[in-house]
Each structure stands twice: as structure tokens, then as C-alpha cells.
Amino acid sequence: MPTTLPTVEVNQNTRLAPRWQVILLNDDDHSYDYVIEMLMTLFGHSMETAFQMACEVDAQDRVIVDTTSRERAELKQEQIHGYGADWRLPRSQGAMSAVIEPVS
């Protein structure tokens, strides 16, 4: 006997919340190991993905590390800014910088 599924009404006026990008900015005061470790810790990226992002930020001076809601993007930006200096480099005085931007 066939099963009849209930009818679902779709509201055409429903909109999704805007998406935001967390963008890591390059500097010369953090090692590849620092960047990879931070991306794995804060974003749960695999080592391979984190390494690719470290290469991209080094080459392009910026890399998108997450696309998410505005609230989560702000949290992740704060976590990057709070991650601290790179203990591997004596000249490193603080965390890396990141910005958030709406997805266009």
C-alpha cells in the first residue's frame, strides 16, 4: 500500500540569513606551523586544508578560513585575535589579524 506524504507549504518570502566570511590576513610575525595549528584548533580544519590555507595567505596576503553567520564570524575573528603570539618566533608580539566581510 503506497504511503501518502503530508503536504508541506513553502513560504516564498522566507530568506536565509546573510553569510559572512572570516578572512585571515598575512604578516611576517607568524610561522606556517602557527597558522596551521591555529586553523586546526579554532576551525577544526584538517592539517592538509590548514596547510593549503597557510600557503594561500602567504602568497595572496589573505585567505577565507570560514563562511558562516555574522555572529559566528565575529566569534571566530575574536578567537583569532586572542590566539596569542607565535612562541616559535621571538619577534612575534601578538596574534594574527582577521577581518569579516559579507559574502557578495
Q: Is the predicted pLDDT of residue 3 greater than 80, yes or no? A: no
Query: Is the pLDDT reported for residue 56 higher than 80?
Result: yes
Write down the domain spans for the chain: 27-102
pLDDT tens profile 13-53? 667 889 999 999 999 999 999 999 999 999 999 999 999 99
- Mean pLDDT, the chain, rounded, equals 93
Tally of CB atoms within 10 A around 94: 14
Region 27-102: CATH code: 3.30.1390.10
Contact criterion met (CB below 8 Å) for 42 and 76: yes
Predicted TM-score (pTM) of this structure: 0.85
